[in-house]
Structure 1
Amino acid sequence: MVSYNKNILRVIVIASYIIIITLIIYGISALLAYLNTGADRSTILHTEIQKIDQYLPKVTWAPLSNEGRPIDSENLNKIENNYLDAWYVKHIAYKTNTTAGIKDYYTDSARLNLFNFIELNAAQNISIESTTLEHHPSLEFFSEDGQLAVITDKDVIEYKRIFQNELLVLETTEISTYKIILLLEDGFWRIRHLVKESTENYDPIATAISTKNLNIQGINYYPQATPWDMFGEAFSADIITKDFKTIKDAGLNSVRIFIPYEDFGKADVDAEKLEKLKHTLDAAQANHLGVVVTLFDFYGDYSIIDWTLNMRHAETIVTALKDHKAIVAWDIKNEPNLDFKSRGKDMVVAWLKNMVQLVKSKDQNHPVTIGWSNTESASILKDKVDFVSFHYYEDLELLQDAIKTMKAEIPNKTIVLGEFGMSSYNGFWKPFGNSDEDQANYHKKAQEIIATNNLQYMSWTLYDFENIPKNVVGKLPWRKDAQKQFGFIDKNGAKKLAFKYISGQ
């Protein structure tokens, strides 16, 4: 019996020894594999940077005719990805004056120049915010061993803002040509040389689109049950079609709708949401209504490093819809001047200028505007947009003089009153508010001013709403409740007194 127990114990010891040795060998093998490959980006990228989420400039390769070895699409894509990553980490490095990520995308000699530049900027308290918007590379040479590539990158559009002691000292957009040598090291295509061969200032003049036939007499629109969530789970083409018929029968000819940036997928536009947007345009066309599409709703960052994502978003939507017969115009952004204080006027205006240029480059047939929240901002970028839009919720007695001032500052350009209206709320939170009759008198007076000044217009809005998202006007109940009752139709579906003056007819 004792001998039997000893044998069992001996087996257990031997088995344990084998298991321990196996685990040790496996651990050593895994470590050696990790050290030898050096190509797993998820484990060796030290920058907390993911280009696919952060940086998507437009890249257009020239047809391949390189010397040396022919290159396949997989290798070309890898070169492109690592090359753009190199640009991105350099942008971050110049902004923060840190060197994180540089060694992953630049060889020893190339990174030395970058380190020296960053050290100099840090010493002088200089920072550079920049991005590239377009690249047009051509592959000049790909070595037989697949370890070296030479690229000429033409017409690189680069936007920069240079700060010293936190003050903006230079803002510029350049178009340049670069010569680049890349080496394959540890699975990365790293930049060995990057030389700027030529550069000049870049300020393209987009072709102006005539607005002589523009005749906007419309309304800002959300379905009653889904305000600020028009394309969500409760989307209904039938409800929208019915509402558009109501709008058309009221004597209006157009609607203004809003495309929320994040909800539509940001740079990777949600195909299902885009299809819902197309159904909305179809419903408008069926009811003989034109549509002003307002982009970038609820977007408020404007960071330079975000620009390429914004561009891919706008490019996708505009390219998909530009030939739809219901499109009347593109509104780049709703009330961007409200972000001047938090984001900086210069930054917001630079972003708008870039987006106007992008949209006009993708659609040469439909005019572009910006929905300013007041008359004071209306002249900003007046020479870049095709018509000027402003919103007005102030005293109507002051509107006539404001229009006169705008027309003096913006001669020979169509002006559209893009939002106006009055809430009929006079409940608990605002006992001395306006009545339905006050609202009707307001719209009657507004239409008289519109007619006198030959303005085009889009009022706010078709319906009273039950619920207002807190990110629209905040949490304060007196603001939310007032926002609920700007409509021409009440929450029960009855036309309010103001409906008589929904159009100027």
Structure 2
Amino acid sequence: MVGLNKNIMRAILIASYVVLIGLIVSALSGIFSYLNTGADRSKMLHTEIQKIEQYLPKIVWEPLDNEGRIMDAQNLSALQNDYLDAWYVKQIAYKTNKIAGIKDYYTDSSRENLYSFIALNKTEKTTIEATTLSHNPTLEFYSEDGQLAVVTDRNVVEYKRVFKADALVLETTETSTYKIIFLLEDGFWRIRHMVKEDNAIYNPEQKIIATDSLNIKGINYYPQATPWNTFGDTFSTDTISKDFKIIKDAGLNSIRIFVQYEDFGKARVKPEMITKLRQTLDVADKHNLKVVITLFDFYGDYSLMNWTLDHRHAETIVNALKDHNALLAWDIKNEPNLDFDSRGQDIVIAWLDNMIDLVKSVDDKHPITIGWSNTQSATLLKEKVDFVSFHYYEDLDKLDEAIKTMKTEIKDKPLVLQEYGLSSYRGLWNPLGYTEEDQAEYHKKIQNILAVNKMQFMSWTLYDFKDIPTEVVGRLPWRKRAQQHFGFINQNGEPKPAFQYISKE
């Protein structure tokens, strides 16, 4: 019995020893494998960059006709990715005055200059916010061993803002030419040398688009069952066609629709959303209606590092629809002045200015506007837009004077009252609200004011809605109830008294 117990103990000790040795060997094997595996760039990059989501400037390579070895598409793509990541890392570093990530994209010698510049800026409390918007690189040389490349990047459009102790001291957009030498290290292209050879102030051509024939008599449109979600899962061309017939028969000639930034896929616009948008314009064309497309709805992040993503979003949509017969105009953003307090007026204006340039670079035939929320902001960027749009939900007795004031300040651009209306909600949450008869009188009066001032218009909106998304007006019931009753047609599909004043005619 004693001998049996000793054998059992001996077997347990041997088994334990074997397991322990196995664990040690497994751990050593894992360490050895890790040390001999190429670094994962997504983990190396301390700024947690995912370029496909963070940085997408337009880049157009010249045809490959370089000296040395021919570069295949895969290597060219790798070079481009690492090059753009290097730009992005540097911009993050200049903004934060931190050096994290630089060593991953710059060689030992080139990063020392960056470190010195960042240290100086940190000492002097200077920060730089910058982004490149477009690149036009040419591969000049690719070594036979595949370890060195020389690139000239011409007409790089770079926007920057320089701050001193948090105060903006410089804002500029430049075009520059860079000469870059790359070395392939650890499987990644790192910048060995980068020199700016020349630069100039960027002055894009101001393309003049005729607006004499606009004659906008329109309405802002959402389907009654899906307000603020025209292009969702229940999208129906039959529903839209019936509504567009009502609009056309009422004497109107145009509609304004909205493209939600996130719903459409952000920088990577979803093809199915483009299809639905095009189908909507097809239906409008069938009913002889023109369409104003408002971009970037429900978007409020104007930060510089997102500009290239915003560009790709707008570029995709504008490219897809710019030749459509029903397209009337592009509205860059709905009520962007409401973001002045939270985002800063300077950066919002800069974003709008830049986006106008982008859209006009893609479509030089259709006019551009901005949907300002009031008359006070209407003069902003008046020299950049082709017609001036404003919204008015204030005292009608002051509208005529407001229009005359705008006409003295905006003499060479058409004015469009792009949104106006009155809610006919009177109930528990607003017992002193307006009735449907009050709403009709409002529209009768405003049509007279528009006629006297020869104003173009787009009213808000065709239908009363049963449900209003919380994102639109918040959760407060009195705000939701009011927003539900701006329509010319009630929730049962019946015309309200105001319908007879939907148009001047």
User: Where on the TM-score scale, by shorter chain, does this alignment land: which range?
Assistant: over 0.9
**1:89/1:117 Cα in 2 relative to 1: closer, same or farther (>3 Å)?**
same
Counterpart for residue 378 of structure 1: 378
Listed one character per residue, the Cα deviations across residues 142-184 of structure 1 (whole Å, up to 9, x for unaligned) are 1111111111110000000001111100000000000111111
- Please give the residue correspondences for 1:76-475 in structure 2 after superposition, counting only pairs within 5 Å: 76-475=76-475
Q: 2: distance between equivalents of 1:242 and 1:488? A: 15
Q: Is the 8 A contact 2:42 2:49 kept in 1?
A: no
Residue 410 of structure 1 and its aligned partner are, at CA, apart by: 0.8
> Aligned partners of 1:119, 1:408: CA distance in 2, in Å?
51
Give the equivalent residue in structure 1 for 2:35: 35
Q: Are the equivalent residues in 1 in contact too, given 2:329–2:368 (CA < 8 A)?
A: yes
Q: Residues of 2 paired with 1:296 and 1:404: CA distance? A: 30
Name the amino acid aligned to 1:340.
F
Deviation string for 1:13-39 (max 9, x for gaps)? 656555544443343333233223333
One-letter amino acid of the counterpart of residue 61, structure 2: W
Partner secondary structure for residue 112 of structure 2:
helix
Distance 2:248 2:9 in 1: 91
3-state SS in 2 of match to 1:65: coil
1:232, 1:6 → 2: CA distance? 75
Change (3 A) 1:162 1:4: same
What letter matches 1:170 in structure 2? Answer: L
**1:131 Cα deviation (Å)?**
0.3
Query: Structure 1 19/61 Cα, relative in aligned 2: closer, same or farther at 3 Å?
Result: farther
Of all paired residues, the percent bearing the same amino acid is 66
Say if 1:442 and 1:343 are closer, same or farther in 2 by CA, change over 3 A.
Answer: same
Unaligned runs of 5+ in 2: none
Whether contact under 8 Å (2:44, 2:101) holds in the other structure is: no
Q: Whole-Å Cα distance in 1 between the matches of residues 32 and 323 of structure 2?
A: 57
TM normalised by structure 1 equals 0.97
Displacement of 1:430 after TM fit?
Answer: 1.4
Shift of 1:3: 7.9
Deviations 1:481-502 (A, max 9, x none): 1111000000111100000000
- Per the alignment, in what secondary structure is the counterpart of residue 468 of structure 2? coil
- C-alpha contact 1:47 1:101 (8 A) present in aligned 2: yes
Give the partner amino acid of 1:504. Answer: K
What is the CA–CA distance in structure 1 between the aligned matches of 2:5 and 2:241, rounded to whole Å? 85
Deviations 1:285-341 (A, max 9, x none): 111111100000010110000100000000000101111111110000000011111
Q: What SS does the aligned partner of 1:118 have? A: helix
Q: Output the CA distance in 1 between the equivalents of 2:31 and 2:112.
A: 30
User: Matched residue of 1:132: which SS?
Assistant: strand
Q: Distance in 2 between matches of 1:316 and 1:17?
A: 64
Size of the aligned set, in residue pairs, is 505
C-alpha contact 1:128 1:161 (8 A) present in aligned 2: yes
- Aligned to 1:229, the other structure's residue is in SS state coil
User: 1:57, 1:112 → 2: CA distance?
Assistant: 26
Decide which moves more: 23-32 or 172-181: 23-32
- The 1:139–1:20 alpha-carbon spacing in structure 2 relative to 1, beyond 3 Å, is farther
Report the alpha carbon displacement of residue 206 of structure 1 after superposing the two structures with TM. Answer: 2.5
Give the 3 Å change call, closer, same or farther, for CA 8–215 of structure 1 in structure 2. Answer: farther
Equivalents in 2 of 1:364, 1:124: separation in Å?
A: 44
Quote the Cα distance in structure 2 between the aligned partners of 1:307 and 1:92. Answer: 14
Structure-1 separation of matches of 2:397 and 2:5: 104
Q: How much does 1:2 deviate?
A: 8.4
Q: Which runs of 5+ in 1 are unaligned?
A: none
Which range moved further: 276-285 or 250-259? 276-285
1:392-427: CA deviation from partner (whole Å, max 9, x where unpaired): 111111111111111111112111110011111111
CA offsets per residue over residues 222-241 of structure 1, 9 Å max, x none? 01111111111222221111
Shift of the alpha carbon at 1:275? 1.4
2:42 touches 2:48 (CA, 8 Å); kept in 1? Answer: no
Match of 1:65 in 2: 65
Q: Does 1:477 align with 2:477?
A: yes
2:351 counterpart SS class: helix
Asked if the contact 1:55/1:306 (under 8 Å) is kept, the reply is: yes
- Superposed CA deviations along residues 106-156 of structure 1, whole A, max 9, x for unmatched, are 111111111111111111111111100001111111111111111111000
Q: Retained in 2: the 8 A contact 1:37–1:187? A: no
Following superposition, the deviation at residue 211 of structure 1 comes to: 0.7
Secondary structure of the corresponding residue to residue 36 of structure 2: helix
For 1:43, the aligned partner's letter is: K
Computed over aligned residues only, the root mean square deviation of the Cα atoms, in angstroms, reads 1.6
- The CA deviation at 1:208 is 1.2
Q: Is residue 489–residue 499 contact of structure 2 (8 Å, CA) maintained in 1? A: yes
